[in-house]
Structure 1
Amino acid sequence: MMNYELIDELRLKNPLVHNITNIVVANDSANGLLAIGASPFMSSTIAEMEEVALIADVVVLNMGTLNDEQLTAMILAGKKANELGKPVVLDPVGAGATSYRKQAVEKLLSHVHPTLIRGNAGEIAAIEGSDWSAKGVDAGTGSGDVTKIAENLALKLNCFIAVSGATDTITDGRKSYLVKNGTPYFTKMTGAGCLHGCICGAFLAVDKERSLESVVTASVMYALAGELVAEQLTQVSVGSFRTYLLDQLSCLDSLLVQQKATVERSNKK
């Protein structure tokens, strides 16, 4: 059962979200977190990673513009968050694009246990080992069952998996949800998926149960915000979508999200 009241609770609790993210999306990710009521902390300075993990409520690791120093910072922050029992979100941007990124994901997962891995179908398939043709950091194409791939990976790594797409898939391997709110505009906005991961992290931070449903609630809120903005645009307006998305995120409440949510269970395991 969804707990849409987390939307209002998050605004009251103002969780501190530590982001080790990429230079392309840092500004949008920070502003998006502020819009939903969270506080962003943007740092990848190795010397302060363990100290930041002490004060943060969640750590979000984003591999978008990855380098060796940043990978070291991610491992330090992630391991400390694990030790402290705080949630860790991994966004494996471009996981299947290059051998460097594949090896980086493997190294990261050998040291850090994520609470949630959020990515597009190509990224999740690359980590799971399924045959998939990705185009850079885009989802690409494949013939596999996205839900099944996500479920297999969730069980293998004992974590939640969220796959962004026309329909978002969120699973713990045993139960899976399909979020059918959204808009194609998200594919026109650089960093749309990255912000999704940040928002999921903020919701995990305020959910005492660290439940799969908190990730679903986060995904519904975000997808619905985009959907509501797109409904108001009378022509293709990518720049306006980006701006109005922040506005919509800042005013959504639990009642409206609950009324307009389109979520289905994909299985009954």
Structure 2
Amino acid sequence: MVMERNLWKHIQFLRSKSPLVHNITNYVVMNNTANALLAAGASPIMAHAKSEVRDMVALAHATVINIGTLDEYWCEAMLLATETAHTLDKPWVLDPVGAGATPFRDNILHELLNFKPTVIKGNASEIMALAQASQGPTKGVDSTAASDEAVEAAHSVCSAYNAIVCISGTTDIITDGAQKIQIANGTPLMTKVTGMGCTASALIGAFLGVVEDNTEAVTAAMTLLGIAGELAEKQSKGPGTLQLHLLDMLYNISEKEFYDHIKLLRP
């Protein structure tokens, strides 16, 4: 129970510190992402203007880069942000949405990866595409592979970029290349709400901003979201009300609820 206790402490610490999380994310999910960060106890800011992005990175506890809705201007802002984070040794998260889908998307990912993300969070197809191990195209932003199929690719990505990799799926897998943590929390209904993976990436950024152990920071984010989703589903009639109740659970989740529902799978 040592890990479980640490994770709950991290959730409480996040609430007490309210880290500022700078997001350059896709405009489909900005509102959802910001509300989830607020509910969990963090403070979100969405800023992609090139004139201020370096200042925002310096000000924030962590930066989250999500390439879901790319254009040329946003790409330039992302590169300025990640270069600044790398220079200042600030943690940053890369969500490689749709990796492998188009050359444009892959080219910007190649440039972003030069600035060594702290954490890369994607579905199995995206992680496999980053490792050039995919056996087929990605299905938009959805995965065509299960998370356990991407473990070898994740190890390759860890080694290449010295990053922690989180593979999201029915079972979430977190690895730094040496250890592997598996989380069996969540519910299939969460896949019916747009941007749930983007929310996970933003929460990872929040925990990275205040938790010293990066692997535990990622694990805390993924368990919190997964458990909140499970509890929210019990009160929901479908994806619309799930989204509503999920925010409430991120805000209200109790220690007992967390311990009663956490499902860490150890090797």
**Alignment partners' CA distance in 1, 2:19 and 2:187:** 27
Q: For 2:89 and 2:194, locate their aligned partners in 1 and report how far apart those are by CA, in whole Å.
A: 32
One-letter identity of the residue aligned with 2:184:
K
Shift of 1:107: 1.3
Q: Any residues of structure 2 matched to 1:133-212 within 5 Å, and which? A: 133=136, 134-141=138-145, 145-207=149-211, 209-212=212-215
**How many Å apart are 1:232 and its aligned residue?**
3.0
Superposed displacement of residue 148, structure 1: 2.2
Q: Which moved more, 1:154-163 or 1:142-151?
A: 142-151
Gaps of 5+ in 2: none
Aligned partners of 2:31 and 2:217: how far apart in 1?
A: 24
SS of equivalent to 1:45: coil
Partners of 2:64 and 2:93 within 8 A in 1: yes
Number of equivalences: 262
For the structure 1 residues 143 and 181, does the alpha-carbon distance in structure 2 shift closer, same or farther, using more than 3 Å as the test? Answer: closer
Identity across the alignment (%): 42
| 2:264 corresponds to | 263
Match of 1:225 among 221, 225, 228: 228
2:25 corresponds to 1:25: no
SS, match of residue 19 in structure 1: strand
Inter-CA distance 109–35: structure 2 relative to 1 (3 Å threshold): same
Query: Deviation per CA, 1:215-234, whole angstroms, max 9, x where unpaired?
Result: 1111001001001111333x
Output one character per residue of 1:90-148: Cα deviation in whole Å (capped at 9) or x when no partner. 001101111110111011112x1100000111111100111243211111237982222
2:127 maps to which of 109, 124, 128:
124
Find the aligned partners of 1:91 and 1:64 in 2 and give their Cα distance.
Answer: 8
Q: Secondary structure at the match of 1:232?
A: coil
Deviations 1:148-173 (A, max 9, x none): 22122112211000111000011101
- Equivalent residue number for residue 18 of structure 2: 14
CA RMSD of aligned residues (A): 1.6
2:57–2:85: 8 Å Cα contact kept in structure 1?
yes
Summarize the alignment of residues 70-85 of structure 1 with structure 2, pairs less than 5 Å apart. Answer: 70-85=74-89
- Judge which range, 143-152 or 198-207, deviates more: 143-152
Q: 1:80 to 1:253 in 2, by over 3 A?
A: farther
Per-residue CA deviation, residues 13-63 of structure 1 (Å, 9 max, x unaligned), is 000000001110000000000000000010100000111111100000000
- Structure 1 residues 164-215: Cα deviation after superposition (integer angstroms, max 9, x where no partner): 10000111010011100110012111100000000011011111x2421221
Normalising by structure 2, we get a TM-score of 0.94
CA distance in 2, matches of 1:216, 1:132: 28
Counterpart position of 1:247: 248
Task: Note closer, same or farther for the CA distance 1:28–1:144 as it changes in structure 2 (3 Å cut).
Answer: closer
1:37-56 equivalence runs, <5 A? 37-56=41-60
